[in-house]
Amino acid sequence: MVNLIDPADMPPDLPWTAEDGPVCRRIRQDILAGRISSNERLKVSELAALYGTSTNPVREALHQLRGEGLVMISPNRGARVRQIDEAYVRDIYELASLFEPYLIRWFVGICTDHDIDRLQRVQDQIETLNFAENLQHSNLDQQFHQIMYERHYNRMTVELWWRKRTILTGINRDHMISRRRQREVLDEHRGLIAALRAHDEDRAAALIAQHVRGAGRHITDRIRSERNSPE
């Protein structure tokens, strides 16, 4: 089972869900699932035949995926899948560590007891699951963060967060979280709930930045370890 959340699964009021055509979603899924390899050339005619469509939706999809950072297009070489390596993951997490504190600061100011109760219910499910199933944990973790960001007025930033999260979820598919990182995730989630109950904006922003950086280190360390391990 591919550990992948697709933007089509987001609530219908989010603006980019209608923009993702079925061809774009399928190409994105296949890249993140590894069915289309890093650096693989993306030929429009072959993709159109594969997905049973004309060439125009494929071209549109490739340009959208270029904007997301998954595809590179050059005049002489055409379109290729971007190499997903440590530098790519680092860049995404550095970006996320800047905009997620911005998102959560706003949430601290508007969150209600109902919102915090929703977060606590999801956190209870996360702790009951205890990282036993990767896809289910990923979906619960997505719900936890979505509660904090779903009503933010800056839809462009929320879209950016969602798209980058989708990419990283795909990169990390089928890999269990280390015991150390599991403990950190639980502690950071608990700390976020406590900061929200206290309406402590600075504490919440610091914790979400720590949370993002920790997740980034965990993935880059795994990629580095896999690269250096003998065949």
Q: What are phi and psi of 230, to 5 degrees?
A: -70, 150
Average confidence (pLDDT) over 27-50: 88
- The residue among 2 and 130 whose pLDDT is bigger is 130
pLDDT exceeds cutoff 90 at 203: yes
pLDDT in tens, 2-12: 333 444 444 44
- Range in 39-43, 102-106, 142-146, 167-171 the model is least confident about: 167-171
- Residue 18 pLDDT: 46
CB 207, CB 103: distance < 8 Å: no
The DSSP line for the chain is ------GGGS-TTSTTTTT--HHHHHHHHHHHTTSS-TT-EE-HHHHHHHHTS-HHHHHHHHHHHHHHTSEEEETTTEEEEPP--HHHHHHHHHHHHHHHHHHHHHHHHH--HHHHHHHHHHHHHHHHHTT-SHHHHHHHHHHHHHHHHTT-S-HHHHHHHHHHHHHHHHHTTT-PPPHHHHHHHHHHHHHHHHHHHTT-HHHHHHHHHHHHHHHHHHHHHHHHHHHHS--
- Residue 231 pLDDT: 57
What CATH number was assigned to the domain covering residues 7-81?
Answer: 1.10.10.10
Burial of 156 (0-12, 13-18, 19+ CB in 10 A): exposed
pTM of the model: 0.78
Q: How far apart, in whole angstroms, are the C-alpha atoms of residue 9 and residue 141?
A: 14
CB 2, CB 169: distance < 8 Å: no
- The residue among 186 and 86 whose pLDDT is bigger is 186
How far is CA 94 from its chain centroid?
A: 13
Q: What are phi and psi of 97, to 5 degrees?
A: -70, -15
Average confidence (pLDDT) over 126-133: 94
Average pLDDT value for the chain: 85
Domain with CATH 1.20.120.530 in the chain: 86-228
Average confidence (pLDDT) over 201-228: 90
Q: How far apart, in whole angstroms, are the C-alpha atoms of residue 31 and residue 33?
A: 5
Average confidence (pLDDT) over 161-168: 80
Q: How far apart, in whole angstroms, are the C-alpha atoms of residue 219 and residue 91?
A: 12
pLDDT exceeds cutoff 70 at 28: yes
Range 86-228: architecture per CATH: Up-down Bundle (1.20)
Domain with CATH 1.10.10.10 in the chain: 7-81
